[in-house]
């Protein structure tokens, strides 16, 4: 089933490179949230409300910015370029629960996740997601 979901993206890598980093982040937000929720269900015995509370600790902007800082040395040059593009994307949304810097870095993090997902770099995506929960 995951393979079917990954094959939903019909765009070539060149077409994906032309998408806005905010589009990558839009997809990456959903992919990361699903990964974290699944991880918590598989590794805890929490009830739904507690699962939600715990997942927030992973998906809030400050946590994503911290995860990105942690994994930056492990990223390839291409991945670091994706992060730079995501961080510098012009987003006119004002963060509610984060400062502007955290929000920009969390957008960059989500952009990287979305980019890897859309370009079907499944193995690398899973490596990075696993680094985020270690």
Prediction pTM value:
0.90
Burial class (CB in 10 A: 0-12, 13-18, 19+), 100: exposed
Instruction: Give me the architecture of the 2-133 domain, per CATH.
Output: Orthogonal Bundle (1.10)
Q: Are 61 and 25 in contact (CB under 8 A)?
A: no
- Per-10-residue mean pLDDT, the chain, length 134: 63 92 96 96 95 94 95 96 93 75 94 96 96 91
Residue ranges covered by each domain of the chain: 2-133
**Six token digits for residue 53:** 């509370």
Reported as a single tens digit per residue, the pLDDT across 17-34 is 999 999 999 999 999 999
> CB neighbours (10 Å) of residue 113?
28
Q: Is 29 a catalytic residue?
A: yes
Burial class (CB in 10 A: 0-12, 13-18, 19+), 61: buried
Instruction: Considering the candidates 29, 79, 102, 110, report the single residue annotated as catalytic.
Output: 29
> CB neighbours (10 Å) of residue 116?
24
What separation, in Å, do the N-terminal and C-terminal C-alpha atoms of the chain show?
26
pLDDT score recorded for residue 71:
96
DSSP output for 37-72: HHHHHHH----HHHHHHHHHHHHSHHHHHHHHHHHG
CA distances from 45 to 31, 48, 57, 80 (A): 22, 10, 17, 36
pLDDT score recorded for residue 98:
77
């Amino acid at each position: 089933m995951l393979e079917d979901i990954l094959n939903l993206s019909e765009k070539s890598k060149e077409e994906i490179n032309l998408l806005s980093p905010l589009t990558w982040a839009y997809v990456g937000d959903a992919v990361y949230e699903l990964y974290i929720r699944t991880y918590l269900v598989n590794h805890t015995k929490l009830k739904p409300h507690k699962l939600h509370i715990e997942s927030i600790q992973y998906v809030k902007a400050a946590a994503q910015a911290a995860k990105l800082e942690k994994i930056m040395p492990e990223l390839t040059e291409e991945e670091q370029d994706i992060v730079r593009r995501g961080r510098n994307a012009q987003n006119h949304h004002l963060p509610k629960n984060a400062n502007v810097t955290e929000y920009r870095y969390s957008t960059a993090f989500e952009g990287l996740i979305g980019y890897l997902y859309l370009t079907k770099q499944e193995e690398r995506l899973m490596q990075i997601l696993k680094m985020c929960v270690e």
